[in-house]
A and B are shown apart, each in its own frame.
Chain A
């Protein structure tokens, strides 16, 4: 069993949750999301994020609007949809359960 593999599996599991959490605070464009994830030391390579965002958008959990930026071309600002909010609440529940399980196991 490869330790890196397990780690990446774990990250994979929470990445979507994290993105939704970040966007729950307000709309953000990709660089903001990347920055937040980096601050949380979660993301390894940025390329991972793009297909994930697209998939979340296709599942109608996210939507985006184009906004002018002072430097360079317009940017895509992502935000949570109604569906995204409910999805996040669900994830929240299961995360809490998981967290409790882990904590109880650690005791």
Chain B
């Protein structure tokens, strides 16, 4: 007596023995790997699945209901293993058998990511995560941490807390594999899950036994973090809101003052808001009139106007959901701003000098 599974192969339902299923699964996985460089790997695999379905159908005609290991073996025999395929591409090594079989065993190494290993945690899993990341024993890390605390490097404790908040937990199997620096392929995940089934069962038993003592500490920790995170979020929102509002007010004021002042600066006329004639005097000193220095005016306007405009644009963009401008526009504006900055300095100095000369002759 055997357990059977139901599978969907090219949109047809088959009952299949468990062992036969496992074999088929591994076979398709190998095919997938073999065709992974191929442009239309999915299409090829779908076609092969369809063919399998056809071959199974032929075999099920004789009143059988379940696909057994025998049928699977036969069909795989017909289809051939990937290393038997005649490679019609112009690969340098015609039968890539060697590389093929090597790949199957060794899980590919890739860049590790730092996670908290909540499965092996003592407090928050930071040490365990670090150990997995550095590929060293957890105990070593823990001993080092404890020693550091004992010899008075107290800053380790806040650092630990920061890491606790900053490093994400490894929840999914894929993340756990990443933590160990293994590629999260189906193969690896499968192996990983298999490996872990026993460990998890053990752990579950232990946890049931020690549920109360363990959970209190963890729960307290989790609660604390949740509170800190919530408070941090509220604070960020508040700070952001206040700054945004302040910025908007300042901006509006600046815009208003510019709008009032500029026309009179340009025309040199006096007005109720800006009561100056052609030459402007402050406490008896002649400070000239900007309107008589158009180069300085233009560069000054650009020098002040571009950043203000940019800020205004950024704020309105947030408020009204405008599309962000292209990068090139930004660079052009920066370039213009730098030029206007230089020109402002240049004409500013000339202007100041003239004013100086004007005042020293007049006085």
Contact = CB atoms under 8 A, between A and B. Distances in A.
A72 B54 contact: yes
A76 interface: yes
Interface in B57-98: 57, 78-82, 84-89, 94-95
A72 B12 contact: yes
Given A5-B94, A46-B80, A51-B38, A73 B10 contact: yes
Given A30-B51, A54-B38, A73-B10, A44 B94 contact: no
A11 B50 CA distance: 25
Contacts of A11: 86
A47 B82 CA distance: 7
A51 B31 CA distance: 11
Contact of A46 (B39, B43, B53, B79): B79
A16 interface: yes
A15 interface: yes
B293 interface: no
Contacts of A44: 80, 84, 86
B213 interface: no
A83 B152 CA distance: 79
A44 B81 CA distance: 11
A8 interface: yes
Contacts of B10: 72-73
B57 A72 contact: yes
B80 A47 contact: yes
A47 B47 contact: no
A67 interface: no
Contacts of B35: 51
A16 B50 CA distance: 22
B44 interface: yes
Interface in A61-96: 71-73, 75-76
Contacts of B174: none
Of listed B48, B57, B88, residue having the most chain A CB within 10 A = B88
Nearest to B53: A72
Nearest to B39: A58
Given A50-B48, A51-B88, A73 B80 contact: no
Interface string A27-69: 0001100000000000011111011111100100000000000
B86 A48 contact: yes
B57 A46 contact: no
Contacts of B81: 45, 47
B362 interface: no
B40 interface: yes
A87 to B, nearest CB: 15
A11 B88 CA distance: 10
B280 to A, nearest CB: 77
Contact of B39 (A8, A53, A54, A73): A54
A47 B88 CA distance: 12
Contacts of B12: 72-73
7 contacts: A8-B94, A12-B86, A30-B51, A54-B40, A54-B47, A55-B88, A73-B11
Interface of B: 10-12, 31, 35, 38-40, 43-44, 47-48, 50-51, 53-54, 57, 78-82, 84-89, 94-95
The 10 closest A-B pairs by CB, nearest first: A45-B80, A47-B80, A48-B86, A50-B44, A47-B79, A48-B85, A54-B40, A45-B84, A46-B79, A47-B85
